[in-house]
Amino acid sequence: MDYTAWNNFVKARESFRNTVEDLSLSLPNLKGIQQKFANSRGENCAYTVETPVVYNTALDDITNKDKVKLILVADNPGRREQAAENRRYLVGPSGKIAGKFFRDNPSLGIDFQKNVIILNKTPVHSPRTVELRELCRMETANGQLTAALENSQRTMAELLINFHETLECPVWITGYSEMRKNGIFEVYTESLKKLYADKKDLYKQLFVFRHFSMNQFTIDLKQQALPGESVAKSLKRIGAAYRDRILYM
């Protein structure tokens, strides 16, 4: 990164860190709600909640000498991501599948560990994304968590475009089912529409895909790939189609 890009990256990173800290302070009861939910999942699935709102510490490893080739957006931090020993995004099964995908497709020229930064649609932890709804139902403080979750999506959308403008590389948003109307991430979708409305060049670099979890991403790619088409061209075509379907801009 050149001097300007590096300074902008650092500013975006610090904004992300501050967002997580502010959100954590505004929800002092969140950890208790998350722990109650974790305990309710049964003895074999229960775990200790250590980080209610997760900043991706992998961003702190980035230096001005690194080449970021892709911004990947996942859903929210899961069980492994919130563990104190990690506090990084996509370090569970989905992350392993993503890493394998890039290793299996060297033609893309992307090292998952060195060339990819990962953001989420919200930094609020839940064991599975769909369980964010259940956390909000368990919360009794006048819908404070619901409001905070929605506001975090607006902020994460703003952070995405800040990173996108700084790094000028493609963006892959994975997991679109909850981005639709009445989905958990509807607010995130609506925010993206507004932010990218007058940034057509950046919009063309934004692609939407299925989750890496359970190999949905890879299976979908294989099913939709055309004979003789390179992986890169397939990804661009498929990701643009999903993008236009979800954002319809």
Read off the CATH number of the domain in which 178 is found: 3.40.470
136 within 8 A of 148, measured Cβ to Cβ: no
State the maximum Cα–Cα separation within the chain, in Å, rounded to a whole number: 56
Phi–psi pair at 174, nearest 5 degrees: -100, 140
- pLDDT at position 247 is 94
Beta strands, E only, the chain: 70-74, 116-120, 171-174, 206-209
Average pLDDT over the chain, rounded to whole?
95
Q: Give the pLDDT mean for 142-147.
A: 85
Question: Which residues constitute the domain of residue 193?
Answer: 3-247
Q: Give the pLDDT mean for 175-179.
A: 95
Question: How many domains is the chain built from?
Answer: 1
Q: Is the pLDDT of residue 199 over 80?
A: yes
- pLDDT at position 140 is 64
Report DSSP state, residue 92: S
* Alpha carbons 59 and 6: distance in angstroms, whole number: 12
pTM above 0.75, yes or no: yes
14-63 pLDDT tens trace = 999 999 999 999 999 999 999 998 988 777 888 999 999 999 999 999 99
70 within 8 A of 169, measured Cβ to Cβ: yes
* Identity of residue 140: T
Tokens 């000498």, residue located: 65
- pLDDT at position 98 is 97
Instruction: Tell me the CA end-to-end span of the chain in Å, nearest whole number.
Output: 31
